Amino acid sequence: MDVDKIHIGQLIKKVVRDNNMKDVDLAKKIGKSRQNIYDLYKRNDVEVKLLLTICHALNYDFFHCLYPLRGGELPETEVSIQLKVKSDNLDDLFKWVSENGNISISKKQ
């Protein structure tokens, strides 16, 4: 994928639509207004901290689009690990994950 051709706002919008999520739902999850989300969809670039927040909210790794910048495509690898957490508060776990690697977490209901 040519990084210069990536429109991150449109990619975020596509993932939101693919997840059958409403713009207002994403806005609530990331602490922004619905108007902020509409403006986000128009943007060609997004601050890393905001993009990381959006990754967690949508359970989608937008950073994978940047891998070709490292000099080539990385092989796709998927590893599943099951963790049992004794608390419903996953903030510390999400913080650890965001500081230590490219990992997505979803809560099994």
- Residue 104 Cα to chain centre, angstroms: 9
Distance CA 94, CA 104 (A): 9
User: Under DSSP, is residue 22 helix (H, G, I), strand (E, B) or coil?
Assistant: coil
Between CA 104 and CA 72 the distance in angstroms is 23
The pLDDT tens digits for 63-78 are 877 665 555 554 555 6
Distance (Å, whole) CA 109 – CA 102: 23
Q: Specify if 107 maps to a domain.
A: no
In tens, the pLDDT along 37-69 reads 999 999 988 899 999 999 999 999 888 776 655
* Number of domains observed in the structure of the chain: 1
Is 11 within the bounds of a domain?
A: yes
Return all residues near 38 (Cβ < 8 A) that are at least 6 apart: 23
Q: What is the pTM of this model?
A: 0.59
Q: What is the CATH number of the domain that holds 40?
A: 1.10.260.40
Expressed as residue numbers, the domain containing 63 is: 3-100
- The predicted structure's pLDDT at residue 43: 92
